[in-house]
Structure 1
């Protein structure tokens, strides 16, 4: 049970004067705030002493605290890492944090492969691969990949490379791949391409240029004019990319330049990447929970969170103002880089000019963000008001839940729940369901089952049971993807649970008609209606979420069935085979010798597998 605040004084006296992380929770056990300190006792006491020294945000936080806990660490650096991990996990509303910091994309160069691939991933692991990022969006990482593909002819396929294919694919003919699949490029030749990719991503373009110039000269001396011409074209392409990107006065410095603009609930942080004096890229991030926070704290939080997962820490980081906890952060960055790091505020010269440009970009970004907030909030308010009027709802539909069923001829029947909060998707509250009913071809029965399961948990929450926050929230409108039949199933579920206060509607796909439980005729909303558009978005999100889940289950089922009942192939070997060859198709195309040489396989099991497939 949560502790009463009046009992905190006794507990606080027992908190150690050691570094660590503390967690504040509300009366429902939800994490409100995660913090760190060199002295846990002193920091925790500061929350529950005099209220006069607290800002508005901290005062509101303290008013909600029902309990706290703490974790002692060996050092402040260890506390910093643990704090960032817990913030990322719980996303507390009172913390300053990178917005939507769930799975930022990275570029992965998989060096564990014999012929490494270069691709986008949202998961990093200590697997011997090289990771570059994080990038703020999928769009920015795709642009970088497109550039890499134009400059370096590495493979983009997932097939097993044997070197014995009859002919190369189109990528080879347009000079986007050296075709190791046919044996045109040896393992050594291909590894040189990957080395150049790595150097380029690290910003070492001069080394790439030097290596290409040497290779071009060698090819020319050996009268390999076609190869020399291809290398010349790559050199010119790299030079074109870097024309105008030289930052005057920076020599060959490697540094990151960070600018921030803040005001209100969110901040905009702009970061430019300079490698060997070249501006090789830029990105921007939004941070939430910044109300009443200073620039010193916002910058410190960004650096802590960005470089926790960043693939590279540069020698120097430029910032527009001093940051909080600079000594601790500097020491932590140096341990990550395994070398010296300087966090500096340039006062004059080219670095100051560059920082000014980055800061101006941050100001522009925040201004655009504010204009978007105003536009979005006005439009969403209009959409919700329109729905309240058209559907005769007692309150504004601030929380809309939409449900969809997905299956193919009754196989792997699943359902999804999308959630829109004040007109915007709340993806953290999305949920998926596997249908358990015997007759999975019956969409009506499936819908009734899902709604019964979901709203039984809401009923339990109303009666004081501990519940997942997503299921404990009461929707202002439940939208069903379907017609009158599916809506009837929803009505039956609510009657069964005694939850007649839940507002229901369904949306039919063809004519976009809105059906209500007690209405004889459907509601027809104008095609350009913001309210209809909001319902369509909720419906489309639920459909997308259900289809994705169904595909995943179907994919797992097909892999399982194709590799089932093969003597000697259990779950572990099945997993290793898919990891090695990419798919069942890849396994079929591989030779018996290749399968036998893959991890965990023997000649006998390889032969049995080929016979089975």
Structure 2
């Protein structure tokens, strides 16, 4: 029997981000059974659940136990690799390959306390006056970095005692990989200045170094010293490679928790990233209830007090996206819980810590998307939301088919009405439709008339589908079904005015008793119903409110997308029709022939233009001249 991916896992797979990161597979007990890294999470995780995985018995055993998948988005693959290693050490998953020895991460050490500092590799950080840069994912990454750096900064690697009076330098001097302070080719100050620039590059402060070398390169080139200019050019390329590929960390390794918040209407998710000894060891997202009427500062403050009230692991520093009230009091409270040292709350505006905030915020957004996708795929929740909506609006039946309409325009041009269809709480995009509004004969927009036209055309198609049905072709879908089936709820984006228009149209088609209608006003998210003087106010945390908001937002999105396409077409049409001899028919033929692209028409040859039906040689030449 072939493997069937569980529905909840299929939902996760469809909504994973195509970004680098780490994924965690869990069994029915919530225990992590596998941790992996990926350049693109979506493609990598999906590969475990395809037919290509049939050849691996380990994968077959593992995926049969997977009941949930978590993930952490990272900035790069290197970060994903480091995070994966840290989390494997921490959780020791059943299906991961485990290293027997617990190796430390490699660093670059610069012995700045020496007169002539050396550049070395190490896996231990000591308080010896040296400067440390890293960590790196593997020793080969360190060696690659040093190999590139040495081309720009030819530092010492030998064990000589540097006096400047040696008779001969080593081979590295001859091949340009050492500037030979041993023979006095450079003095102590010049050598240390070079090492200081090397440390600036590793610290991400390469601007001044690049500026100096660039000016020197131009000067050498102007003096016709092209060989020296080429050497300086190679140094610039090496520095550029390092600044793009690697980031430095402070040698003072501290413990941080990074907190970020993502919000969408009445939904809120807090993301917390745990950094210990300078390494990202894990991340967690926490959805929050009743956060819709609270400020970001209040939400984060409440989260901190609740989360750390139950936690015994208090970091040295909390990194937050914004200031919070009572920050100093919370610092004292956390310091008392930590015992060993003071806890500090910081709000970085730039630098590495700000990048960590951005990374946490990105993870919070992805976590919210995943929670929404899982909610939408949960049929029990959908049924509950529809039942609550029926009761709140006093509908005669469960609104399994909900149609929603919205209008989009820009100052009365390219007016488009959208219809989206939700069936059992899930969008059915095959039944989405748009209406290009044609009956507005005055300047400016007219939402009421636009809505009247859209609804009239929709229910006229209902009448046509019932009275004059078109039999579907064999093996083809019934194209009239979407018009023939009446909605269990007609939802209008707007207020009392739009509701009155909908009532008028339904009455004209004698459908008032058959099609319930409601209008959702954005200001207070209130629902207006016929015959009810006061609007229906669903609870802010109601799943029914979340459902109608999502339907309304989807109609708005679809309307805006359709409106933009219509505006683009009108723009192309107006440009073409300024050319003599180009009317509606030739314009349509040209756009069809060249993929609706003015640039493609502009780039076409005379012969290609003449190949379009109705375009003569003269018109083709006019097009080339005027476009």
Q: Normalized against structure 1, the TM-score is what?
A: 0.38
Q: Normalized against structure 2, the TM-score is what?
A: 0.38
